Amino acid sequence: MDISDWRKKIDELDIEIVRLISQRAAAARAIGELKRTADLPVYEPRREQDVFDRVRAANPGPLADAELLHVYERIIDVMRTLQRRDL
């Protein structure tokens, strides 16, 4: 494959990533509504640690665990912001 083929592959993957992040955001929003109804906090450090542990265990590389967790820290931060914004 040449560079244009790899870029096309990345473009396709980006579309799939956006679709999956949107699904994750919809789930986070629904959870936020349930938290609000149950008067639960948006920030749940134990749950976030569980997500990080699961992501680390599923990581096949080539990203190091720390690099992948950095991406997930940002994703979770954005999802937390979404939940707070909907309050």
Q: Where are the domains of the chain?
A: 3-85
Helix extents (H) in the chain: 3-38, 45-58, 65-85
Alpha carbon 64 to its chain's center: 17
**pLDDT at 87 exceeding the cut of 70:** no
Q: What is the pLDDT of residue 86?
A: 74
Q: Mind listing the pLDDT tens digit for each residue in 20-71?
A: 999 999 999 999 999 999 999 999 999 999 999 999 999 999 999 999 999 9
For the domain 3-85, what is the CATH code?
Answer: 1.20.59.10
**Residue whose structure tokens are 């265990």:** 57
Q: What global pTM score does this model have?
A: 0.90
The answer to whether the beta carbons of residues 15 and 56 sit under 8 Å apart is no
16 band by pLDDT with thresholds 50, 70 and 90: very high
The tokens describing 14, both together, are: 């980006």
